[in-house]
Amino acid sequence: MNYTFIFPGQGSQSLGMGKDFYENSKSAKELLDHASDFLKINFKHLLFEENDDLNKSQFTQPAILLTSLMAYNTLNELEPNLKAKISLGHSLGEFSALAISGGLDFLEALKLVHQRGLFMQEDCAKIEAGMMVVLGLDDESIEKLCEKARVENKQIFAANYNCEGQIVIAGLKADLLSYENEFKNAGAKRAMLLNMSVASHCPLLENASLKLYKELEKVLKPNFQTIISNVNAKPYSSKEEALNLLKAQLVFPVLYKQSIKTIENETSYFIEFGSKILQGLNKKITTKPTYSLTNLNEIETFLKEIKS
């Protein structure tokens, strides 16, 4: 069996995520406690109690990555010999993939994405940035409308290629709203502004990408297991490649559906850690099954199924 491990990105957060792992897995509990001490963030409060921080990028990103790593640790505790041939993530999830593939220490990965969230928030704080999901339009039509908008001096860019008929665009919130009817008139079933205060994966994050590069230089390992890049949907496994690809990742679109297509013929199962978001997308991209592991029971059920 060939497994591909996949990891969700920003937007997959929810109150209570990871709690089952924390309560039922020694290694997951230890990781959360160590992360809280290392980053001086109360992750028990952030993940399990009502608060205003979970949707702020500098907290959202380490919270999601931590939940994914807790899920991974729990699986590893029960079945240490189950390894992935290749890993990938959606946006932020690429850093989770790096962590489990030996490219980053777990705690350093959490610190890095906390900084990444801060850099992104800083770039977007004064410009009223946002993101919008467009449903029911093909890639080419959306790309042409984004180009048309930029000719009109509007800041609108294709940001996430999630699956057929679903692209997320990024830019200035006012510009996105001004083009809502343009997308609908072109045939979109829906064009809806998302609850986000950053414009990920577009040129508005140029400064953030430069800052991130400097932090990546400090913590990336020289070599690691193969990762599929969000930027070009191609494999990489070295620090030299990672530095340029992860810097570019903040200003180039996420090629998620293309990445899944790249490796589906080499994959028996996709396994998603800590969320069901990518499982939903994968159903629209590939016929290969995706297992989502969001609690201990799902891990135990998954292990029984692959052994039967």
Residue ranges of the chain that CATH labels 3.30.70.250: 126-197
Helix axis angle for 206-219 and 106-124, nearest 10°, is 160
24: β partners: none
Architecture (CATH level 2) of domain 126-197: 2-Layer Sandwich (3.30)
Residue 249 has a pLDDT of 97
Residue ranges of the chain that CATH labels 3.40.366.10: 3-123+204-307
Q: In what order do the strands lie in the sheet with 166-172?
A: 156-163, 166-172, 129-135, 190-193
Architecture (CATH level 2) of domain 3-123+204-307: 3-Layer(aba) Sandwich (3.40)
| pTM, rounded to two decimals | 0.96
Contacts of 133 (CB under 8 A, 6+ apart): 166, 167, 168, 169, 190, 191, 192, 194
| Alpha-carbon dihedral sign for residues 277, 280, 284, 288 | positive
Q: How close are the terminal C-alpha atoms of the chain, in Å?
A: 13
Higher pLDDT, 11 or 146: 146
Q: Which sequence positions are flagged as catalytic?
A: 91, 201
What is the per-residue pLDDT across 224-282, written as a single tens digit (0 to 9) for each? 999 999 999 999 999 999 999 999 999 999 999 999 999 999 999 999 999 999 999 99
* Tokens linked to 289: 């099954």
What is the per-residue pLDDT across 166-205, written as a single tens digit (0 to 9) for each? 999 999 999 999 999 999 999 999 999 998 889 999 999 9
